[in-house]
């Protein structure tokens, strides 16, 4: 699949590298190499992951591995100053990218995302920063994370480059962008439009949705797989896992991949066996009836 409107060909599953600093470096290298062997060519970073240590580790892994830089897609994010503020100023973006490239020990990023919205954003400055980075060859494509349609429209008014991706939290239970579309004109909790019609907007504007925390049911509240809180959902997942002879993680991932928005799934596991089990999702296609059965069993309603 191509990432948004770009010609960057990416795997449907991406390895999120937020936790690789929790591994011994030899184990982290095995994880990255296993991902590549499984067909994953996309690796997601952010300058705040491990306070930059995750990027440093990945840079060393790439130097010590047989994986060629040109054979993988590296994405990173900037704009969060932890515990203090968001900063989308030109100076901050440019300095952040220089730091990212140094830590990754690479000459360029394939994709740079603005990490969450900055309410003090001056889109003219973002445009100047993106122009500079693109002309210098430091970044090939640009995107955002956790932004709604109007926030993207504001940026697009000034940007010369396309927004190719929007990284959003999305899973079977955490799917307000689905429920708001299904429960239109209803006085239900699911009808609340929390995301600015972002699902339809991204489809209309050829922006790839990158689903993060695909196994979480809240904002880091917990994993829904094997959770008593989602007993009915897990029963359906387990039945489908037996039918397709795959893991429960593969079914949860396949649910996201089944949507015609052509989403990409960011998985943050550091376990090579789990990663292999998750990748089984790319070999199956859930039926329409199975997709809706999973959705309903998570507690959502159909009008």
Q: Tokens in use for 105?
A: 């020990």
pLDDT at 218: 80
Distances in Å between the Cα of 258 and the Cα atoms of 79, 180, 183, 195, 291 are 31, 19, 20, 21, 8
Q: Mean pLDDT, 10 residues at a time, over the chain (303 residues)? A: 97 98 98 98 98 98 97 98 97 98 98 98 98 98 98 98 98 97 96 96 98 91 95 98 98 98 98 98 98 98 95
For tokens 């909790």, the residue is 189
What pLDDT, on a 0 to 100 scale, did the predictor assign at position 205?
98
pLDDT value, residue 147: 98
Largest CA distance in the chain: 57
Tell me the angle at which helices 288-297 and 248-257 cross, rounded to the nearest 10 degrees: 110
Per-residue DSSP letter, 56: H
What pTM, to 2 d.p., does this model score? Answer: 0.97
Our separate counts of H helices and E strands in the chain read 11, 10
What is the distance between the alpha carbons of residues 202 and 160, in angstroms, rounded to a whole number? 18
* Residue ranges of domains in the chain, CATH in brackets: 13-297 (3.20.20.100)
Instruction: State the CB neighbour count (10 A cutoff) for residue 275.
Output: 20
């Amino acid at each position: 699949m191509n990432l948004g409107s770009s010609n960057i060909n990416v795997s449907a599953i991406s390895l999120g590298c937020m936790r690789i600093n929790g591994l011994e470096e030899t184990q982290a290298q095995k994880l990255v190499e296993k991902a590549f062997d499984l067909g994953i060519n996309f690796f997601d970073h952010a300058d705040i992951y491990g306070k930059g240590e995750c990027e440093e580790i990945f840079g060393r892994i790439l130097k010590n591995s047989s994986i060629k830089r040109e054979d993988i897609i590296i994405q990173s994010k900037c704009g969060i100053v932890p515990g203090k503020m968001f900063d989308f100023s030109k100076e901050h973006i440019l300095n952040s990218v220089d730091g990212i490239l140094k830590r990754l020990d690479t000459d360029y990023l394939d994709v740079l995302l603005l990490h969450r919205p900055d309410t003090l954003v001056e889109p003219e400055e973002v445009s100047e920063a993106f122009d500079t980075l693109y002309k210098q060859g430091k970044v090939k494509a640009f995107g955002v994370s956790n932004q709604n349609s109007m926030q993207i429209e504001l940026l697009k008014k000034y940007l010369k480059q396309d927004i190719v991706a929007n990284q959003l939290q999305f899973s079977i239970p955490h799917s307000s962008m689905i429920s708001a579309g299904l429960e239109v004109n209803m006085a239900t909790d699911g009808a609340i439009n929390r995301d600015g019609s972002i699902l339809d907007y991204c489809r209309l504007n050829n922006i790839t949705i990158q689903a993060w925390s695909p196994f979480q049911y809240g904002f880091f509240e917990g994993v829904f797989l094997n959770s008593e809180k989602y007993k009915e959902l897990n029963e359906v997942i387990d039945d489908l896992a037996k039918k397709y002879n795959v893991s429960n993680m593969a079914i949860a991932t396949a649910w996201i991949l089944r949507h015609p928005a052509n989403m990409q799934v960011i998985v943050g596991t550091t376990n090579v066996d789990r990663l292999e089990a998750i990748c089984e999702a790319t070999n199956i296609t859930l039926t329409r009836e199975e997709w809706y059965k999973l959705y309903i069993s998570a507690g959502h309603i159909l009008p």
